[in-house]
Amino acid sequence: MPAREDILHKVRTALGRSAGPPLPSKSFHQLWRARRRKF
């Protein structure tokens, strides 16, 4: 994780309002559909 995001994440976690890890760029359904298309 880049230092900027890491520090801000640590600060937010320390303050008890961490939103958790960032959302992935693709949803599970999108990945699943892409995988099915491959086969």
Partner 1 sequence: MSVAFHERIQYALLDERLQKALYAATGRLMDKRKTGVAPDQLPDYQELRAQAHRIKQHTLENLDHYLELLARRVEDRGGHVVWCRDAGEVQEFVSGLARERGVTLAVKSKSMTSEEVSLNEALERSGVEPVETDLGEFIIQLAGERPYHIVAPAMHKTRQQVAELFCAKLGVEREEEIEKQTMIARAVLRKKFLAAGMGISGANFLVADSGAVVIVENEGNARLSTSSPRLHVAVAGIEKIIPRAADLAVFLQLLGRSATGQTLTSYTSFLSGPRRPGELDGPDEFYLVLIDNGRSRILADREKRQTLYCIRCGACLNICPVYRRIGGYSYPGTYSGPIGAILTPQALGLSHEPELPFASSLCGACAEVCPVKIDLPKILLELRSEVKKAETRERRWRAEKIGFTLWAWLMCHPRLFELAGGAAHALLGASGDGRWIRSLPGPMKAWTQARDFPPLPSKSFRQLWRARRRKL
We find the least distance from the C-beta atom of residue 1 to partner 1, in angstroms, to be 10
Binding positions for partner 1, 6-35, rule CB under 8 A: 6-8, 10-15
We find the least distance from the C-beta atom of residue 9 to partner 1, in angstroms, to be 9
DSSP 1-39: --HHHHHHHHHHHHTT----SPPPSS-HHHHHHHHHHH-
Phi, psi of 16 (to 5 degrees): 75, 25
Give whichever of 18 and 30 is closer to partner 1, judged by the CB atom.
18
Residues that bind partner 1 (CB under 8 A): 2-4, 6-8, 10-15
